[in-house]
Structure 1
Amino acid sequence: KDLINNHLTFTLYNHAAIWPKDDTKWPKGMRVNGHLLLNSAKMSKSDGNFLTLTDAVEKFSADGMRLCLADAGDSIEDANFVESTADAGILRLFTFIEWVKEMLETKSTLRKGAARTFNDQVFLSELNLKTQQT
């Protein structure tokens, strides 16, 4: 946490020095957080509570890591990488991918046309409401 200010300033200076006339290559924004906790505890090799990025990708896959890191936190507070959340995220991702495959395979059997049933109308109403709320 104590190095964030120095690293951000150094990054901006480097980009300005390397591309002084091309600000399209300068950072548009940065997101930072504190330390990364592992299962709600400080990472420590001596305590055995440690996970390298390489090991994490091998264990959870790159997509599983992205999901879990996105869920770990997005504020200045310490992010918390929870392995059970990563496991659950992988299962949700796998289930979603399988559902998409199934829908694509059975696409020709799905009903087409305008929404006619009561359930269709309720669903459309909910979609419209959620769209307006966002």
Structure 2
Amino acid sequence: MSGWALAVLGGAVALCFAYVRRRFVAVTITGTSMAPTYSEGERVLVVRGGVDRLRRGDIVVVRWAPADSIPLLLIKRVAGVAGDPVPADVATAVNRPAGTPIPAGKFIVRGDNPDWSLDSRTVGFFDGESLLGTTVKRRA
């Protein structure tokens, strides 16, 4: 193979690698908020995407930054998307009456283990800025 062909092949491989690195991220689970679905130490593959693709039931990774603190990554299940009614247990956190529609570009999440979950019941709405992506696969 000529030097020119090797350079083109190397460039193509580098572009593919860069695409995969920008599109996917591996996340390690810490905590028990998603038990029994996920356990501490499990790894999941997350595909980056926008809020417009979310559906109730998707498992997502979101960024949440408490005031004056380091941002945290939270893995949660989508419990409501734009247009869905605000659930009663989230109404206070989002400062809206239960049953009013979730605004465009916003969504709510809950942990599968509600007694040990920091989620929309406390934090309120999440938006596209906070969305890292949706889980697609468990990793060994």
TM-score by length of 1: 0.24
Q: Between Structure 1 and Structure 2, which shows a larger proportion of helix residues?
A: 1
Q: Which has the higher contact order (CA 8 A, sep 6+)?
A: 2
Please tell me whether Structure 1 or Structure 2 has the larger radius of gyration of its CA atoms. Answer: 1
TM-score by length of 2: 0.24
Q: Between Structure 1 and Structure 2, which shows a larger proportion of strand residues?
A: 2
